[in-house]
Chains A and B, each alone.
Chain A
């Protein structure tokens, strides 16, 4: 929204920044949550989470099972609206949008904020229709334009050579890794600004997982990425920043957040230290 530098330049800056020892971050903030709480019925799942996610970087959410990482993601695109008895309180801003404002257009919001789930979830349609259905819903109707986007996004996720001659076959005939890449292509086709990924590699074999991971790493500099992962090595490899969640008194809380090296090597909190140490050893 603000400070839109030309993309290639911005990307190379980000890449250098990642390779070199971390300089002071000066990226604008894309997602800002304040005192965000989320509960299912009476049961709190998240309490008082205030987190800033910088634009065009990769932020990894880590923490044990049940500490509310998925719930956090689903509040960002208001998918929480669909979860039974789920209530969200606090404040979320993405760019200039007040996400939790009931007047916010969720369809437009979800177009800007893509989401990838743990289990690849292509629709039981052809590969082509998987990509076209959301595009048509958002008003892209011209055949030539649709074809161009299909080819471009499939190329972007490295799937084009594999599927170009079977676009009209069911997407369910693809392997798990290919399905996950298709889902990513489907999200990218809508040209989102933010991409949320909920353990996108954990249902995949190591090779597919590596391919998807590289793909996610390649999103840096062009998209704001928030990824939940249980794989700390993965978080370390691809993330710029890490947020550590922990379950305390039955509710998930944000314990520590910062640049990836700081959180892993010089954690400020005892819990963080124990978690990154324990999971490593």
Chain B
């Protein structure tokens, strides 16, 4: 049941629906009554992406077609998925192999520069022994778009994989990350922030499967929903039999700023091993009224105070981004989104 299959075959019954346990909060079958036509090739200019100043090389997909490709998988690389056709559909897949001992900063952007499109992106990322990857994913979709991004990440022993997803949602949007964690001193950080207004929806789903001993996973997702937006967080950490001494922590914390906004969260720890240290925390609430009044008493107008407190709340995720330039872009993006949304 995937959007990608539906796009390839035209078979709407292949779409995930609320009857699929993992998709119950992100129903595509009920939403898409028809699939838009395949996006045409684009032969004009493509505007620069959000990480243009940081990356030394880039791979670019436009309307589902790869138009620029770098062979390099180390250093600072941009990976862009650009939608330029209205009411069109596109699917793309891409594989990255990071060689043992290499370091890669992957600056990924999903750039909705059109309206009402349907997009599916599938990524395979293999991280070699002792290699290190930091993946920053900035997703800026059109309000009427449907977008599913799935990344399958395979880690070798001693690999380090860190990821931060920043999204403002879409009509319906799912960003899924599946990590095959070998244990063996490999370390994973999976973070995310969703900032949703109007009728936007975003679903951050992660599955980390610890297969061997002595693996570390640390997860922090923060969200803000307002108006009639809906945020979904599904985080699953599986500690397989024998994956002893796993250290895994998952946190999901979200703010609901309006009565009609909604958050559905399902943090899960499935532990089949011994002597593990695993914990999860999940909190959903409003902004602290007292803190808000305190700021207003000092002269800060309510809307500005709300934005300030929300930026600070989400800031914890931004601060965990290791690459300085990407962190600055992320911080500016959060400030811009919240300045207008709250």
Partners in one complex: no
Q: Show the binding face of A for B, using Cβ within 8 Å.
A: none
